[in-house]
Structure 1
Amino acid sequence: MTDATEAVEIERKFLVAQLPVLEELKAKPVRQGYVTQAGDSVELRLREKGGAFFLTLKSEGGLVRMEREIEIDAAQFEALWPATEGRRLEKTRYVGALPDGTGFELDVFTGTLAPLVLVEVEFDSAEAAGAFTPPDWFGADVTEDRRYRNRALADDGVPGRPERRG
């Protein structure tokens, strides 16, 4: 287990209008679940990504949020995982860079969230985030739309679909 890292996450999130060539990107399977309930003032998440395990605490917010994450071992993850029942999601995360070198994470959701695809871009400052011009393959900016937060997707499913995930 490693020490907690604290950071301010400055991130914009977009729907995807057209998928890039996925074979050119690095991919890792992700499963995550939420210990906290909808309406809680913070988000406590368990995540398995490519064989590594994490416990993450995030604050409320849109573009700018506090984030603290610690790496945990598989036994700790499995001991806590049952607490996330009914608040889980799975996806494949593709990591790449835009032509100007800006990194992005593309999430292709599976299960009841398919065929949802979101792309996230992290920034060093709110100013840099505001100045970002997304490429044509990015769709609508959903950064401030709480329905597209992973916790909301795990709780409620894809916005606009009548069925509730669970």
Structure 2
Amino acid sequence: MTITLQVNGVPRTVDVDPRMSLLDLLRERLGLIGAKKGCDHGQCGACTVLIDGRRANACLALAVAVDGREITTVEGLATDGELHPLQSAFMEHDAFQCGYCTPGQLCSAAGMLGEPGPSAVTEDLLDDPDLTPEEISERMSGNLCRCGAYVGIVAAIGEVAR
């Protein structure tokens, strides 16, 4: 099948097998290797990208399902040679160790910052709470870091959120 999508602001038309995941399309066909294949079951978040501005596990999305959509990978977060504020904050707060999960953490954080409303730890479910460390941790819980860099990750996101 032939699909057309925007990847990091660039229109792309690609022939894909209907069974191909978005992650495999990005990595194997488009050469965008930032999103990592961690568990390949949607459990670790290493493959997180933004689909029309909302975070998604690329390993679970079929490439044919994103026909006509806009995809942003970690490679597309920086603009005009300037790092995204999250990328700078991750460096300042040592929010990574081995770096394997970092692209997914960054994309997830970028999407999360645009998501209003309560989470499972919000006391008043009618509230749009401040992004406290507890809120950030809960909202980022779909992204795992085997090195345990969570303190830096939460601090970096908190800085950008403020």
TM-score interval for Structure 1 and Structure 2 normalised by the shorter chain? under 0.3
TM-score for both structures, normalised by structure 2: 0.27
Name whichever structure is richer in helix by fraction: 2
TM-score for both structures, normalised by structure 1: 0.27
Greater RCO (CA < 8 Å, at least 6 residues apart)? 1
Name whichever structure is richer in strand by fraction: 1
